[in-house]
Amino acid sequence: MKPLHSIFIVDDDPIHQQITQIMLDRLSISNDVTKFSDAQDVLEHLRTHTNDAAALPDVILLDLNMPIMDGWEFLEAFSLLRPQLCKDIKVYVLTSSIDDTDKERVNKFDFVAGYLTKPLTNDVIMKLGR
């Protein structure tokens, strides 16, 4: 499987960021991982680079429970920004929540490619590249 070009990890927990990056590196899924602790920073990056495909990620791994801007607020804002982006970005919700209500709510965002629960497993990571 060819590595994904770029993955953004959006999670306020540095330990989860590090674990996710280590697993991505170990499985050679990406040659370019960027970590964000604040979803607002990701939106700002996307807005700044709407026409620069090389600066945009192929995949965003998004935590739902974060301070400042949570994953839900990000998904709402991203749904408005998405049509302006010069490339399609897959968004995967990566959360510790196993709440069925959250899963149903995520399904309302048609651009979300999957609902993944922490911690990531090798099998789940391998599906990201498909």
For position 90, which CATH number holds?
3.40.50.2300
Low-confidence ranges of the chain (pLDDT < 70): 1-4, 129-130
In-domain check, residue 103: yes
Question: What are the percentages of helix, strand and coil residues in the chain, rounded to 5?
Answer: 40, 20, 40
Cα 118 to chain center, whole Å?
A: 13
Total number of domains constituting the chain: 1
In-domain check, residue 2: no
In-domain check, residue 89: yes
**pLDDT at residue 48, as a whole number:** 97
Q: Give the pairing of strands 59-62 and 33-36.
A: unpaired
Q: Residue type at 86?
A: C
In-domain check, residue 104: yes
- For 4-13, the pLDDT digits (tens) are 679 999 999 9
